[in-house]
């Protein structure tokens, strides 16, 4: 499979879980309609596979964009592990961006 110059991944590490309850947010109502309101948190194995495969597929830039629910519910250790994995699988010459949308 050929590589592409850039890749942006939209990731929901905490499923739809959220503890903020913003009045303007439509997502809380959406979650109430589901049979299974949350699917838990992304595992360390899934995170590692995601980072590894993403960095194998690009030639220039990869962006990991985390959203939710509330992505910070995954905890600081989750994001520390993310940066460790990015360093581990960085082939050199790839620009890596991380963002959190709350």
pLDDT per position as a tens digit, 48-88: 999 999 999 999 999 999 998 899 999 999 999 999 999 99
Does domain 4-100 bear CATH number 1.20.120? no
Greater pLDDT, 78 or 29: 78
CA angle 47–39–34, rounded 5-degree value: 145
Give the pLDDT confidence score for residue 57 in this predicted structure.
96
Integer distance in angstroms from the first to the last C-alpha of the chain? 34
Under DSSP, the state recorded for 74 is G
DSSP E strands in 1-102: the ranges are 4-11, 58-66, 95-100
Asked if the model's pLDDT at residue 5 lies above 80, the reply is: yes
């Amino acid at each position: 499979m050929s590589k592409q110059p850039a890749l942006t991944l939209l990731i929901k590490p905490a499923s739809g879980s959220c503890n903020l309850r913003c009045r303007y947010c439509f997502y809380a109502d959406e979650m109430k309609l589901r049979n299974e309101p949350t699917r838990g948190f992304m595992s360390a194995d899934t995170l590692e596979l995601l980072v590894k495969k993403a960095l194998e597929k690009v030639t220039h830039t990869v962006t990991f964009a985390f959203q939710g629910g509330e992505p910070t519910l995954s905890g600081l250790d989750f994001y520390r592990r993310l940066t460790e994995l990015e360093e581990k699988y960085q082939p050199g010459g790839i620009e890596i961006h991380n963002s959190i949308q709350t």
